[in-house]
A and B are shown apart, each in its own frame.
Chain A
Amino acid sequence: MIISVIARNTFKEAVRDRVLYLLLFFSALSIVLARVLAILTVGDRVKVVKDVGLASISFFGALMAILIGTGLVYKEIEKRTIFTLISKPIRRVEFLLGKFFGLVLTLAVMLGAMSLIFLAVVFLHTFQVEFGLILAVVFIFLELVLLTAVAVLFSCFSTPILSSLFALSFYLIGHFSWSLETLIKRTPAGATRTIIQIIYMLLPDLENFNIKTEVVQNLPLPSGIWLGAFGYGVVYTAFILLLAVLVFRRRDFI
């Protein structure tokens, strides 16, 4: 109950942020302007429209999660409004989860808006609504939920600028960690390889949520990916939130 009240208020606060609308505007612009890039191509133009659209949703969604998420908790501390809140019978974990779910709700609304524009643009090209594209957006949303948790975690103990940098690093590492596989293959068996393997397994792998290429080109996806990626996202998000709660509980505001 308390969580939902905080979430609703966080949502109301977040949707007042002009940055959000600026990002939404640029996202919509790039989705619509995908048509220009498509005109310049030779071959399947719809493929380009879909690629650009999904990339825009993913990229601007990530920016929204980072830019809004990293300031959420910090602002409460900076503006001292946190004192009003924690003086009430609200547990810190409830406060944090409320903030998190509020931002998730904001992202869901924004992603919904971007997806509508995107699906409309695709519809104008193909005259059909493709279920696969909606699935790709759902997976992007899963990724953004995890990124939001990371943004909230850093927001608990750092300034928005540093938190943004940390969250951005998490995002980049998440899309780069798959390359450790090559390093593992090239490292001879032994302690070093085991350490790299452990790092590889624990580092976030955001490519698990990246089904954009497969969806756009109608390529087959392994049957277990849906549940596996969903579970991975939920568990990793829960883990990051747990860390955030641990940090936030120890935080001294004075």
Chain B
Amino acid sequence: MRKPKLFLPAIVLSLAAIAGLKLHLDGLPRVKTPGAGIVYVPTGPYVKAASFGYASFLADVIYVWAIQYYSNPKITNRFDHFIRIFGIIADLNPHWFDPYEVAALIAQDDAGDPELAIKVLEDGAARNPDQWFFPFSAGHYVRDKLKDPDRAKAYFKKTSEIPGAPELAKRLYADAAYKTMDYETSWATWKEVYDTATDPQIKKIASNHLYQVKSAVDIAVLKSALTRFREIRGRAAENLEELVTARLLKSVPLDFDEKEYVYDSKTGEVRTAVLFWKR
């Protein structure tokens, strides 16, 4: 004979027992190895084949899992499969940009490995050649973190060639070219920015940089002539006009504002009358 009145207490008791046991089990000290769950990471194409039409959804799931996984500093070797895991997401959903961006940030900020970040962005660029974001970000990583203006120049050049890229890319390219002492490219690019800018602020920035590039070129020429003068005459030039008299220069160059350069005959230093950003 069934006794329905006993059902409710039985259910409550069961639930209480389940909760109690769960708390008890959680309280037991167990040796846990964070990240030990990853034994095998398949390649992206295999995962895509096994997604059976749910590639985008699977990419979401792996991405969300990856964010949690890479946010756990207790997993000391978590970067072992970094490229492979984010590669799977990229294989599943190659035109989804968030994972590349976040992976690059994790690689830089958590792994402290800008080259890894650049590798992720390179992968994104290869899969999305029409997206300026990838070379633009890579350019920033090499410029700011690796302090490599040569590579930055190449990335910003690539960025500025992609339709829709921000106008800033061209300026960064010109600046990187200046830092690599490629004055010709830097001048031509800043000139282009100056000629095409409609914003007076941008025009002013371009003008300042044109001033900077011209000064760098002129000062290099002047310093070279001053060194030659010292070799020939055995003394430092009294002023810059002496370089013309000695036929080392056809004329003394003037800065972008048609003003004379400042020469200190005691130290041999040549500089502009004003700092380029204070014009």
Contacts and interface: CB of A to CB of B under 8 A. Distances in A.
A210 B51 CA distance: 12
B52 A176 contact: yes
B228 interface: no
SS of B interface (majority) = helix
Given A42-B102, A44-B98, A217-B95, A51 B52 contact: no
A41 B55 contact: no
B256 to A, nearest CB: 44
A206 interface: yes
Nearest to A171: B52
Interface residues of B, number: 23
Contacts, number: 62
Contacts of B182: none
Nearest to B67: A42
A90 B60 CA distance: 50
B53 interface: yes
Interface of A: 37, 40-44, 47-48, 51-52, 54-55, 58-59, 171-172, 175-176, 179, 206-207, 210, 212-213, 216-217, 219
Contacts of A172: 52
Given A42-B102, A43-B102, A175-B52, A51 B57 contact: yes
23 contacts: A37-B60, A37-B64, A40-B67, A41-B98, A42-B102, A43-B99, A47-B98, A51-B56, A51-B57, A52-B57, A52-B60, A54-B57, A55-B56, A55-B57, A58-B54, A171-B52, A172-B52, A175-B51, A175-B52, A206-B53, A212-B53, A212-B56, A217-B95
Cβ-closest 8 pairs across A and B: A43-B98, A55-B57, A175-B52, A175-B53, A213-B56, A40-B64, A51-B57, A48-B60
Contact of A40 (B52, B68, B99): B68
Contacts of B97: 43
Given A42-B98, A43-B98, A43-B101, A216 B67 contact: no
Contacts of A43: 97-99, 101-102
B108 interface: no
Given A175-B52, A210-B53, A41 B60 contact: yes
